[in-house]
Amino acid sequence: MKSLVILGSSGSIGENTLQVVAAHPELFRVSGLAVHHATERLLEQARQFGVTRIAVADRQAAAQLRGRLPAGLTLLAGDEGVEELAGATGADMVVCALVGMAGLRPVLAAIRAGRDVALATKEVLVAAGESVMREREAHGVRILPIDSEHSAIFQCLQSAAFTPRCVRAADAPPEQRAEARIRRLLLTASGGPFAAHPEVDFEKVTVREALQHPNWTMGRKISIDSATMMNKGLEIIEARWLFDIATDAIEVVIHPESIVHSLVEFVDGSLLAQLSPPDMRVAIRYALSWPDRQSAAMPPLDLAQIGALHFAPPDPVRFPCLALARRAMACGGTAPTVLNAANEVAVETFLDGRTTFPGIWHCIEKVLDRHQPQPSPALEAILEADHWARREAARLLPQ
Ligand code: MG
């Protein structure tokens, strides 16, 4: 029986994780749940899964809940509360599905407490990949990817006589290095709502249009990232850290059907792909069950019915976020931290209706232009760069 703490349980990944748990009561139980502010849903989940420890990041929402907390429930409040829950004893694995940079400290707390992490929050690796992977190695824990592309790559790598960095021991022999086996990673991208529509005038794109993802139902932040294709830029950086592959060897290919979730090209010219219907529970179930597989009541993928799968190159001119992400990685150090922070602020500003859709990447570019990256930053320098970039982005964006 594996005991799980789920951070961000009221969001799309959190809800899907609980569905996987509910389908395998003999394998998984939930020992802790955390949300940002959705306390009603949190109470329902705690009741349904018999959870006794919960955390609410938003202090006001936590204070309101405290007055009417059901007997037997322990409530932790604020970001520190979420961190405490992530590092608490009694869990085997922490599922992190918090939105954005908010996931960093809880993930580090889980790693330092010796817990494996199932990671949906890619921003954690974008902002602090080098130090998170270092901590992982120092504490001998595993990071299992929940992002569907990274789950696909992780699954394909299981077939090679090679252990991916995210689950490898720090003292693994040199033949376990990725470059000895892998030529390229190919990340597939649906392209979001706009890749197939070159006629769309980005200056006029509304929030509602940008949130209309063709294949996946997801949270608001990642839906906008998909529409700008920054999501794929962030995923290049995420893959670089999880699998220890140079970013130049990570390519993006548009695949509108979202059936092939990513591919690995090995040095012998062989490509392996992972295919499944676009359902996040596939990746979640694999992360929770690894290295095993668990049966699921999934409808079979009917390839004959699908008929054709399409692939196309991304358009770097219409989607400049891809190049911005590569530029940040080439600069290194705190540059990806700044890219991520500026993106988080710009996306929020767009969702509030205060900037245009292209305003998102214009802001990120300007903040990157002003940044002096610091190499191999410690956590303090990462947090400082994050705060600086948020202030700069807020200053540059319309109030
Ligand atoms: Mg993804």
Confidence (pLDDT) at 265? 97
Tokens of 14: 């959190």
Whether residue 238 is predicted with pLDDT greater than 90 in this model: the reply is: yes
> How far, in Å, is the centroid of ligand 1 from the Cα of 42?
25
> How far, in Å, is the centroid of ligand 1 from the Cα of 282?
13
Percent over 90 (pLDDT), the chain: 92
Question: What are the structural domain ranges in the chain?
Answer: 2-121, 174-396
Each residue of 162-180: pLDDT tens digit? 889 999 998 888 777 777 8
pLDDT, average across residues 367-392: 97
pLDDT, average across residues 7-14: 97
> How far, in Å, is the centroid of ligand 1 from the Cα of 399?
31
Each residue of 104-157: pLDDT tens digit? 999 999 999 999 999 999 999 999 999 999 999 999 999 999 999 999 999 999
> How far, in Å, is the centroid of ligand 1 from the Cα of 280?
9
Distances (CA, A) of 211 to 123, 218, 228, 334: 19, 9, 11, 29
Question: What CATH class has 174-396?
Answer: mainly alpha
CATH topology of domain 2-121: Rossmann fold (3.40.50)
> How far, in Å, is the centroid of ligand 1 from the Cα of 306?
21
> How far, in Å, is the centroid of ligand 1 from the Cα of 68?
38
Distances (CA, A) of 345 to 302, 350, 364: 41, 9, 9
Each residue of 316-368: pLDDT tens digit? 999 999 999 999 999 999 999 999 999 999 999 999 999 999 999 999 999 99
β-pairing, 260-266 with 271-275? Answer: antiparallel
**Most confident listed range (161-175, 207-221, 236-250):** 236-250
Q: What is the DSSP secondary-structure string of 132-147?
A: HHHHHHHHT--EEE-S
CA 387 – CA 295 distance, rounded (Å):
44
Confidence (pLDDT) at 218? 85
> How far, in Å, is the centroid of ligand 1 from the Cα of 369?
27
Residue 251, H or E segment: strand 250-254
Q: In the predicted model, what is the mean pLDDT of the chain?
A: 96
Each residue of 48-89: pLDDT tens digit? 999 999 999 999 999 999 999 999 999 999 999 999 999 998
Q: 3-state DSSP call for residue 212?
A: coil
What is the arrangement of strands in the sheet containing 2-7, beginning at the earlier edge strand? 74-77, 53-56, 28-35, 2-7, 93-96, 116-119, 143-145
Confidence (pLDDT) at 174? 76
